C-alpha cells in the first residue's frame, strides 16, 4: 500500500477527477461518430483544438529553466507518441466497433498492464494476489465482450483488440513518465509531450486527407471536438500527471475505479446504451479484480 504522505489525499483526488474526465472522452467520441466515420479527421480536430492548451502549458512550465537536452527531448517524444498519439488513435478507431462501457472496462485494466510492463522492463516482482486480481478482472472483461460479440458480431473483436493495444500503449507511458516527471515536472512534461502528440495527429491528417475535407464537417462535430479537447483531453491529462507526481503511477492507475462506473452512467444517459445483467456482472468482476490486485503489498 502507498504511504500516506501529505500529498496523498490531494493526489488521489486529482487521480479520481482525471479518471472521471477521461471517461467522458469515450462518450464524446461516440457522439462525434454520429457526424463522421473518419477517425483521422476526428482526432485531428481534437488535437488541433488541444494544441494551444498544451503549448501554453509547456511555455509556462519552462520559464526560467534550462533548455532540454537531446536525451530529454527523446524522453519527451516517447511519451508523447505512445501515451497520447498512438494510444488515443487506437482508442478512437476501436470505439467505432464497441460500446463506451466495454471500452472503459478495457482501459481500466491499466493497473495490470503497468504491473506487467514493470516486470518486463524492471523485473519488479508480483504476488499471488496480483495474479488472482488479474484473473478476476479479465474474466469480467471476457463476460462483457462475449455478450457484446453475440449481439454485434465480429467487429467487436477488432474493436476490443484495438482498445487493448491502446491500453498497453498508455500503460507504457505511465511506467516511463513516473521517472521522467521527477526531472522535468508534471506541467512541463505534459505540455511538451502532448504538443508532440498534437503535431503527430495534424501531420497524419495532412498526409492522409485533403486539407479541404476538414472544412466539410458539420459544426456539431467541431463543437464536440472542442469539448473533447478541453474537458476530455487537456484537463484530465494535467490532472493525471499531477497525480503521478504526488502518488505515483500505480496508485494513479488504481484510482481509475470510478472510470467504468461513470462511463456506464454517461453511456446510458447520453448514448442510450443498454445496461444489462451481463454488463453489471462484468463490471463488478473487473472492479473486484482490481480491488484484489491492489491488496498485494
| Burial category of 200 from C-beta neighbours within 10 Å (exposed 0-12, middle 13-18, buried 19 and up) | buried
Q: Strand, coil or helix: what is 7?
A: coil
Does a structural domain hold residue 233? yes
Does a structural domain hold residue 279? yes
Rounded Cα distance between 282 and 32, Å, is: 27
Half-sphere exposure of 241 (CA within 13 A, CB side): 29
Does a structural domain hold residue 51? yes
- Residue spans of alpha helices (H) in the chain: 8-32, 39-62, 70-79, 87-94, 100-107, 110-122, 128-152, 155-184, 186-208, 219-229, 235-247, 249-254, 258-266, 277-295
Does a structural domain hold residue 34? yes
Rounded Cα distance between 116 and 124, Å, is: 9
Residue listed under C-alpha cell 500527471:
241
Residue listed under C-alpha cell 494513479:
252
Does a structural domain hold residue 78? yes
Model pLDDT, residue 5: 64
Q: Taking a C-beta distance cutoff of 8 angstroms, is the pair 41, 287 a contact? A: no
All three cell numbers of 290: 482490481
Maximum Cα–Cα distance across the chain: 58
Rounded Cα distance between 34 and 220, Å, is: 10
Torsion angle (degrees, nearest 10) of CA 8, 9, 11, 12? 110
The size of the chain, in residues, is 297
Residues 6+ apart with CB under 8 A from 147: 276, 278, 279, 282
Considering only CA atoms, which of 229, 279, 238, 208 is closest in space to residue 52? 229
Model pLDDT, residue 165: 95
| Residue ranges in the chain modelled with pLDDT below 70 | 1-6, 253, 256, 296-297
Does a structural domain hold residue 167? yes
Structural domain including 179 reads 8-295
Does a structural domain hold residue 1? no
Q: Taking a C-beta distance cutoff of 8 angstroms, is the pair 117, 171 a contact? A: yes
Query: What does residue 293 show for φ and ψ, rounded to 5 degrees?
Result: -55, -40
Tell me how many domains the chain contains: 1
Q: What is residue 212's DSSP assignment?
A: G
Q: Taking a C-beta distance cutoff of 8 angstroms, is the pair 99, 22 a contact? A: no
Half-sphere exposure of 179 (CA within 13 A, CB side): 10
Amino acid at each position: 500500500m502507498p504511504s500516506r504522505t501529505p500529498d496523498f489525499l490531494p493526489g488521489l483526488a486529482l487521480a479520481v477527477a482525471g479518471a472521471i474526465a477521461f471517461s467522458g472522452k469515450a462518450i464524446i467520441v461516440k457522439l462525434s461518430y454520429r457526424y463522421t466515420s473518419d477517425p483521422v479527421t476526428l482526432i485531428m480536430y481534437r488535437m488541433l483544438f488541444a494544441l494551444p492548451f498544451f503549448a501554453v502549458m509547456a511555455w509556462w512550465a519552462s520559464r526560467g529553466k534550462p533548455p532540454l537536452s537531446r536525451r530529454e527531448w527523446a524522453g519527451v517524444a516517447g511519451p508523447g507518441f505512445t501515451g497520447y498519439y498512438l494510444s488515443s488513435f487506437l482508442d478512437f478507431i476501436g470505439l467505432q466497433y464497441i460500446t463506451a462501457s466495454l471500452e472503459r472496462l478495457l482501459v481500466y485494466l491499466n493497473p495490470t498492464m503497468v504491473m506487467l510492463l514493470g516486470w518486463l522492463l524492471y523485473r519488479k516482482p508480483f504476488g499471488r494476489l496480483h495474479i488472482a486480481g488479474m484473473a478476476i478482472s479479465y474474466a469480467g472483461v471476457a463476460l462483457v465482450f462475449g455478450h457484446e460479440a453475440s449481439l454485434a458480431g465480429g467487429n467487436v473483436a477488432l474493436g476490443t483488440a484495438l482498445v487493448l493495444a491502446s491500453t498497453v500503449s498508455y500503460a507504457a507511458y505511465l511506467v516511463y513518465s513516473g521517472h521522467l516527471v521527477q526531472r522535468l515536472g508534471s506541467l512541463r512534461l505534459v505540455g511538451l509531450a502532448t504538443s508532440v502528440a498534437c503535431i503527430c495527429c495534424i501531420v497524419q491528417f495532412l498526409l492522409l486527407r485533403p486539407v479541404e475535407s476538414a472544412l466539410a464537417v458539420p459544426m456539431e462535430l467541431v463543437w464536440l471536438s472542442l469539448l473533447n479537447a478541453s474537458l476530455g483531453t487537456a484537463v484530465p491529462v494535467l490532472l493525471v500527471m499531477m497525480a503521478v507526481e504526488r502518488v505515483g503511477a500505480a496508485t494513479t492507475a488504481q484510482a481509475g475505479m470510478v472510470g467504468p462506473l461513470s462511463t456506464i452512467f454517461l453511456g446510458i444517459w447520453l448514448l442510450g446504451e443498454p445496461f444489462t445483467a451481463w454488463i453489471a456482472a462484468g463490471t463488478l468482476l473487473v472492479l473486484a479484480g482490481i480491488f484484489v490486485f491492489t491488496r498485494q503489498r
